[in-house]
Amino acid sequence: MVSAIKQVPEPQGQNPSEAPEGPGGSDMPRGTDGPHAQAAHPTPEHIAPEHTDALSGGLAGLPLRVRIWKRRALIVSLRVLRLVRTGLDKVFPGIRFLLRTLQRRWRRSLQFRTVLTTLLLSISSFAIVGAYLSNQIANNLFQERLTQAESETRYNVKQVQDTFDGAQVTDQSSVITLVYDTLNAVEGRGSVIQRRYVFEAMPEQTKPRNRWVESRASDQLTVSVIPKDLRAAVQDSGKDQFWASMQFPVGTEDRPGIAVGNKVTFNGTVYELYLIYDLDTAQQTLDEIQNVLWAGGAALIIMIGGIAWYVTRNVVSPVSHAAVVSEKLAAGQLQERMVVKGEDEVARLGASFNHMAASLQEQITQLATLSQMQQRFVSDVSHELRTPLTTVRMAAEVLYDARDDFDPINKRSAELLYNQVERFQSLLADLLEISRFDAGVAMLDAEATDIVQLVSHVMEGAAPVAEEYGSAMTLNAPEGSIVVEMDARRIDRILRNLVLNALEHGEGKPVNISVASNATAVAVTVRDHGIGMTPAEAARVFDRFWRADPARARTTGGSGLGLSIATEDTKLHSGWLQAWGNKGVGSNFRLTLPLKQGGTITKSPLQLEPADVALPGAVDRTVLVLGNPDTDGVPEGRQGTAAPRDTDVAPAGDVAPERAATGERS
């Protein structure tokens, strides 16, 4: 009786078909000793002389042929490498383009991101569940076959041993016939698993010496297909039964199987009996189940992807439609509305969006109408005031010229009337200019102009004002000319406004004007060292009619529209007008223009916050020292404007956050 069933670990890396023949194999290689050995392996003395000469010639040319073949192999390798490189050069750009397209699609499409995420999670989940199910099915099939194999092996081994024990044969042919018939009967049994056997005498047996059967196997198998660990376990055990999974050759293919080993005795000789059970049917069943799982999983993933696409499309489409309508509303198409269908949450969102759009359209229309009325009113009033103002101005000039003949009170009244009429006329001119900007009729008359000469012209025009305030003006600019495509009249107005403001608020201290350019832009800075500006004042320096004085005392400054007009002129040039200030230190205004009309400014050549050092490579093109020489002059190291450095830039026409104003900057 068999007392134990034990498993032998499956050998690693063993190929039964390549294993050496066992000691009892029928295909053992034989020696070549015999009468034909010399004919099979001729010696040199048996070779004819002419054959020897031909052999010598062939050996002599062998190195040359080897070199030729090496060279040919090298050429072929280089050509193959070139073809591979060419293919990679064509494939990699396509892969990079595909990856960039997927990345851009991932960032911009919520529907694509949702569907792809759902598919990836579904594939991962199916892979985990499929692997688990496949493993469980495979284990169950194997355990079922193993249990059946163990049961049938016990029965068949007992039948074989009983047959051997009851045999009464003494001659060789009878023994061979008995063993052959008994093993064939074992091979033919079994209704589900097809059995094969390997019958091998245990090695190193000395008794009895007259055994007539060494080994037998079915289907031309040999003991080499049996795993070595299984043989060792069977040989070292008593009557225990062991098994191991294996592969064995059947024709030209290898099939999975289970080998169950036992010991049997016959005529005093101990034999190893291995019954091999074919698992090819179970493997085919497992493959079919796995194919069904793969096909079902692929169909399920496609269905999940379609469902995710349909669901996300129903949710994302209204959102995309709302985004398109919002963009149209932002572009001024106030009549655009969303299409509302149904009564669900998306429909309520669309209805609310349409209500909001209608309300915004009504308010914007009202504001636009009011703005147009205000602009028309300002324009009409400005035009209507020109004629009476001209008459009043002529009368004021007559009185002003004759003021010396008046008494002191009337003389002072004539001077006040003349000055206020001049101020009123300046305000009226600014209002007319602002109305042109509001009406959108301001046109740019650009032509190539040297901006350095334009700055010099502005400084010459401001010389009397600088002399009145006692301020010195210096120009720090590179040698040569800087030609810019611009409207010289408008840029002249901007620079004149900045320079006059700097002189007015500079408290008699020097005013430094700097000019510099780079590859795309030119910049002009006007730096004063007067009372400066605070951050609170910086936020409103370019607003219309704004004054830093809370009491709005108009003891200094002009109409309050100068910087606003300068900002509009800068916008027409697609430039920047920015300001910086510090209380008690002064202020710095920077005008940046593109060298060519339609160009883009990426960085200003001059920094906004001055460092009070001269520009690298710049020279004093023009130095105007105006007023009293004893007035505070230009301190050493403070001439010009600081060298360019990286600064925050603002879009065209916007004002930098550093800007500030002091008093009224007109």
Q: What is the pLDDT of residues 539-564, one digit of tens each?
A: 677 777 666 655 444 444 555 677 87
Residue 208, preceding bond cis, omega within 30 degrees? yes
SS3 376: helix
Per-residue pLDDT, 146: 92
- pLDDT value at 528 more than 50: yes
Angstrom distance (rounded) from CA 583 to CA 596:
36
Residue with tokens 């916007």: 654
Per-residue pLDDT, 278: 87
- Report which of 646, 638, 659 is spatially closest to residue 518, judged by C-alpha positions: 646
Mean pLDDT of the chain: 76
The residue among 1 and 4 whose pLDDT is bigger is 4
Measured in whole angstroms, the distance separating CA 567 from the mean position of its chain's CA atoms is 40
Q: Are 434 and 544 a contacting pair, CB within 8 Å?
A: yes
Tokens of 360: 């915004």
For residue 596, the number of C-alpha atoms closer than 13 Å in the C-beta half-sphere is: 5
pLDDT bin (cut points 50, 70, 90) of residue 436 is: low
For residue 35, which amino acid is it?
A: P
Residue 93, preceding bond cis, omega within 30 degrees? no
- pLDDT value at 402 more than 70: yes
The residue among 445 and 459 whose pLDDT is bigger is 459
The answer to whether the predicted template modeling score (pTM) of the entire model surpasses 0.75 is: no
Angstrom distance (rounded) from CA 229 to CA 595:
89
Angstrom distance (rounded) from CA 605 to CA 522:
6
Per-residue pLDDT, 60: 55
pLDDT tens figures, 498-524: 998 888 888 888 999 999 989 889 999
Backbone dihedral angles phi then psi of residue 4, each to the nearest 5 degrees: -150, 150
Range with the poorest average pLDDT among 14-28, 229-243, 266-280, 470-484? 14-28
Q: Are 259 and 274 a contacting pair, CB within 8 Å?
A: yes
High-pLDDT (> 90) share of the chain, %? 14
Element (H, E) at 117: helix 110-165
Partners of 483 in beta bridges = 450
Q: Torsion-angle region of residue 218: left (phi > 0), alpha (psi -120 to 50) or beta?
A: beta
Partners of 486 in beta bridges = 447
Angstrom distance (rounded) from CA 231 to CA 420:
124
The residue among 40 and 495 whose pLDDT is bigger is 495
Tokens of 77: 């390798």
Give me the torsion for CA of 221, 225, 228, 232, rounded to 10°.
Answer: -30
High-pLDDT (> 70) share of the chain, %? 74
Angstrom distance (rounded) from CA 142 to CA 150:
12
- pLDDT value at 15 more than 50: no
Q: What angle do CA 403, 408, 410 make, to 5 degrees?
A: 60
Q: Which of 419-423, 438-442, 509-513 has the highest mean pLDDT?
A: 509-513
Residue range 169-189: average pLDDT?
Answer: 82
Residue range 201-211: average pLDDT?
Answer: 71
Element (H, E) at 245: strand 241-250
Partners of 661 in beta bridges = none
- Report which of 127, 150, 130, 149 is spatially closest to residue 138, judged by C-alpha positions: 130
Range with the poorest average pLDDT among 46-60, 308-322, 378-392, 503-517? 46-60
Q: Where are the alpha helices (DSSP H) in 219-279?
A: 228-236
Tokens of 499: 């320079």
Per-residue pLDDT, 560: 67
- Report which of 227, 196, 197 is spatially closest to residue 8, judged by C-alpha positions: 227
pLDDT bin (cut points 50, 70, 90) of residue 649 is: very low
- pLDDT value at 471 more than 60: yes
- pLDDT value at 440 more than 60: yes
Tokens of 551: 């009491």
Per-residue pLDDT, 666: 41
Tokens of 57: 């010639």
Tokens of 278: 């074919």
The residue among 586 and 432 whose pLDDT is bigger is 586
Angstrom distance (rounded) from CA 136 to CA 138:
5
Q: Which of 10-24, 26-40, 67-81, 193-207 has the highest mean pLDDT?
A: 67-81
Per-residue pLDDT, 586: 86
The pairs formed by 23-31 with CB atoms below 8 angstroms and a separation of 24 or more are 23/203, 23/223, 24/200, 24/201, 24/214, 24/215, 24/223, 25/215, 25/222, 25/223, 25/224, 26/215, 26/222, 27/222
Burial class (CB in 10 A: 0-12, 13-18, 19+), 281: middle
- Report which of 226, 217, 224 is spatially closest to residue 257, judged by C-alpha positions: 226
pLDDT tens figures, 321-348: 888 888 888 888 888 888 888 888 888 8
Angstrom distance (rounded) from CA 178 to CA 180:
5
Range with the poorest average pLDDT among 103-107, 136-140, 422-426, 447-451? 422-426
